[in-house]
């Protein structure tokens, strides 16, 4: 009996290993996902190692070097205060990725809890979802602008505003997954065996709801980076002279004809980061949920 159980366990372990290997091969063979991963890795490397490799003060003023075009000395040129645009973009990458990560963590945890409870306990669904519907009645960016304007400028307030704006999206994704799995055979079996609601929800249902959640969070990361730049551009993000990408573009808009590099390079940084995150998210969707490709 013990030998049979051991054999069955070994067979399951081998099947899990083969499944994990097939998933890894699908990930590595997806061109869009790999391109997105490379772009994200380069931006993350710039954000983490850039301030250490390229020493200098992004806030240092130098009126002798105002409006210098891109050159070997100033790779991305300088602005109207003589500040190095490359250094400012490097430090801005760190800030943008930090805000994106914080928004993803808050919306991921909060949205998962709200969506899981709402999807599993039907009596609570109406209360939670009405609040989420009220938040979704406003466009996410407009809601974030309103909250950030009410709270005031600052990194923490930007994170709070974007988290509230994108929380309903994550909650509804998790809720839909939980509702589709709530009456699955393995869930009913666990319920018959006397498992508690908490065990069923967090041990059996949520682990099988991770694929759509992970895919959704990659897109929220991209939205957060783009929205952070928009808030900074409108003056409700991190206050100047903080070297955020939105602030750089906002400060250079008055000189776009005479010194277009001030706005071009941070705009390219935003575009490449969002493109990389979207390609990565699309690839994860194709690999983790291939059913969407057949719809």
Q: Which superfamily does CATH assign the domain made up of 32-294 to?
A: MetI-like (1.10.3720.10)
Q: Residues of the chain with pLDDT > 90: what percent?
A: 49
Residue range 220-243, pLDDT digits in tens: 999 999 999 999 999 898 888 888
Residue-level pLDDT at 291: 54
* pLDDT band, residue 200 (cuts 50/70/90): confident
- What is the pTM for the complete model shown? 0.85
Q: What is the mean pLDDT of residues 192-202?
A: 83
pLDDT at 9 over 80: no
pLDDT at 140 over 60: yes
Instruction: State how far Cα 254 lies from the chain centre.
Output: 31
Helix (H) or strand (E) holding 8: helix 2-29
Domain boundaries, the chain: 32-294
Residue-level pLDDT at 150: 92
Residue range 70-115, pLDDT digits in tens: 998 899 999 999 999 999 999 999 999 999 999 999 999 999 999 9
pLDDT at 289 over 70: no
How far apart CA 4 and CA 10 sit, in angstroms, is: 10
Bigger pLDDT: 108 or 291?
108
Residue range 202-226, pLDDT digits in tens: 888 888 888 888 889 999 999 999 9
How far apart CA 76 and CA 85 sit, in angstroms, is: 5
**Cα–Cα distance list, 82 to 48, 132, 188 (Å):** 24, 46, 67
Helix (H) or strand (E) holding 55: none
Q: What is the mean pLDDT of residues 14-41?
A: 73
How far apart CA 194 and CA 192 sit, in angstroms, is: 5
């Amino acid at each position: 009996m013990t030998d049979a159980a051991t054999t069955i366990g070994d067979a399951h372990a081998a099947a899990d290993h083969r499944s994990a290997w097939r998933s890894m091969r699908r990930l590595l063979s997806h061109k869009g996902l790999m391109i997105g991963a490379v772009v994200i890795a380069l931006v993350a490397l710039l954000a983490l190692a850039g301030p250490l490799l390229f020493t200098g003060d992004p806030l240092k003023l130098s009126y002798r070097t105002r409006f210098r075009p891109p050159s070997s000395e100033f790779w991305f040129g300088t602005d109207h205060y003589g500040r190095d645009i490359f250094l400012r973009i490097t430090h801005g990458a760190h800030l943008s990725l930090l805000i994106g990560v914080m928004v993803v963590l808050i919306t991921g945890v909060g949205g998962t809890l709200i969506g899981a409870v709402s999807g599993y306990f039907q009596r609570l669904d109406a209360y939670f979802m009405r609040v989420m519907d009220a938040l979704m009645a406003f466009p996410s960016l407009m809601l974030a602008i309103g909250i950030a304007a009410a709270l005031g400028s600052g990194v923490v307030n930007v994170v709070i505003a974007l988290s509230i704006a994108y929380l309903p999206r994550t909650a509804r994704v998790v809720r839909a997954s939980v509702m589709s799995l709530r009456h699955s055979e393995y869930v009913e079996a666990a319920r018959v065996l006397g498992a508690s609601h908490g065990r069923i929800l967090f041990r059996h249902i949520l682990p099988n709801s991770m694929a759509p959640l992970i895919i959704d969070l990659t897109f929220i990361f991209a939205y957060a980076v783009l929205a952070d730049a928009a808030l900074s551009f409108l003056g409700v993000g991190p206050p100047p002279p903080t070297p955020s990408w939105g602030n750089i573009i906002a400060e250079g808009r008055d000189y776009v004809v005479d010194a277009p590099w001030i706005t071009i390079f941070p705009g390219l940084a935003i575009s490449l980061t969002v493109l990389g995150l979207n390609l990565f998210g699309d690839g994860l969707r194709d690999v983790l949920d291939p059913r969407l490709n057949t719809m």
